[in-house]
Amino acid sequence: MMEESQMYKKLLVIAAVDVIAGNVDLLSEILLRLPTKSLIRFSIVCKLWCSIITGMQFRLSHCRSLAFSNAISPSGIYFYNCLTYQKIISLPLADNATSLPPLPLLDQFINSSIGGDTVTEFKVTQSCNGLLMCIFTASTTRITIKKGIVYNPANGECCLLPTYKKCDQFVYYNLISDPSEPPYYKVLCVTRMGYGYSDIDVSVYVPKSYSWRSCCHFSAPRMAFDSGVFWNGAIYWISKYSSFYFDVKSEKVAEISMPPRPQGGFTQKIRYFGEWGGHLHLIQVQSRYAKKFNVLELDKDTWKWSVKYHVHLAQLISTFPEMVQQTSYGIQYAFSILSVIRGEKEEDSVLLLTIPGKVVAYNLVLKTAKVVRELPGEVVDTVFFNQVCAYQYTESLVPVSEWTVGPEKSSYQQLSKTSEFLLEKGDLLGTSSEYFFKDA
């Protein structure tokens, strides 16, 4: 009787699996509750799963569900030397992640040809809710122009933006990605007539529009717009003496007051400006190699900057004496700020730093330090301290391009590339996943 009972239970389980597998609506509801990384893996289980996961409506629904459940959070960081834009380093931050998707665009585009134009420079300039803003410089026999690419590293999709009509001006591209509202991403093109000129034009690109729409003009002398940060429904720009933001809904630009600048003759006082977990942070320093500074936060209601954390790296420098470097200018401290990471609990908030040979998480409350990753020698040689660009990686299925062939073919190929990369790294969910991949 016991054997018959166990057999009956097994038959019930098999029957339930068959019902779920054959019911597209029920299967979709189950898949919607899985994280992005699992969906990318499961997209190569079979054609039915692939057609569901790569379907446009499913992907948009998945993005919205993550946004409304506040489940969108960075799981890693890409960083590299701001001066050379070479040797991108990927740094997983999630406990269950051993690697981040590669960024083959940098290798594929440099020294290549697009539409007859030779690409001479390619770099990442911004990250926003799972998408990366990439800029490449293309040279023709007559002019040099900047073009933009929106790229989703999770599934390898990219969208080449149309060339802005006034391409001979100073051009800056900024990315807005909001998974909770259609059209889910937009791109701003900010242009000025020349360096130092105050007349600024802002144009917007929306997916499927295939053109830029001019939306507002304003005045901002000596302001750069290549390091925008999306926060609280707006893109924020900051410089030495002024700060502006572009509100996405009203499509208007306004200026906000800057916090007091630290004293000292050093002019480039902004050491970090970024967002994490709904918080906008700013770090200003008195000197290039200051070991004592404050982390500021902008209040959503009062629009005022206030000191959130006091940082003094004396104990960190004592623990890692390799940070002390004697130069012709005197003693300098070798470190770069990658990110201010806010934890679920206040005592989990850290300052992520690179120091010679290591990535270190400095706890902003407990004042302790933990080595996150050892950096190999060839990487250390390329990290120019104080000149490091860092961009968040967030797993997302948000679509960035229209499929020119059937979604079953193109989407399967795009997602399977990332899945194959995960397989090569041995980063699987378990034996059941291995079984599915084997029979895919």
Q: What single string gives the DSSP state of each residue in 347-366?
A: GG-EEEEEETTEEEEEETTT
In angstroms, the CA 231 to CA 202 distance is 18
Structural tokens at position 291:
């070991």
- Can you give the pLDDT at residue 226? 78
Residue 114 · residue 64 · CB < 8 Å: no
pTM: 0.81
What is the full per-residue pLDDT of the chain (440 aa) written as tens digits? Answer: 555 555 544 544 444 555 555 567 788 888 888 888 788 888 777 788 888 888 878 888 887 777 666 656 788 999 887 766 667 888 888 776 677 888 877 666 655 655 556 777 788 899 998 899 988 877 766 677 788 889 998 888 888 888 876 555 578 899 998 877 777 899 999 987 655 567 888 999 998 888 899 999 888 877 878 779 999 999 999 987 789 999 999 999 999 988 888 777 666 788 899 999 899 999 998 877 788 999 999 999 888 999 999 999 999 999 999 998 877 777 888 898 999 999 889 999 999 999 988 999 999 999 999 999 888 776 666 666 777 889 999 888 888 875 333 333 344 344 444 444 333 433 322 222 222 222 32
3-state secondary structure of 113: strand
Q: Phi/psi zone of residue 257: left (φ > 0), alpha (ψ -120 to 50 degrees), beta?
A: beta
Cα–chain-centroid distance for residue 311? 25
Domains of the chain: 2-68+402-439 (no CATH), 82-94+262-391 (no CATH), 103-258 (2.40.128)
Q: What pLDDT, on the 0 to 100 scale, is given for residue 136? A: 82
Closest CA to 55 of 438, 419, 408: 408
- How far apart, in whole angstroms, are the C-alpha atoms of residue 45 and residue 56? 18
What tokens appear for 148 in the block? Answer: 């933009």
- AA identity, residue 417: K
Give the full edge-to-edge strand order of the sheet including 358-363.
Answer: 336-341, 350-355, 358-363, 369-374
Cα 197 from Cα 92, distance rounded (Å): 41
Alpha carbon dihedral 272, 264, 196, 219, in 10-degree steps, equals 70
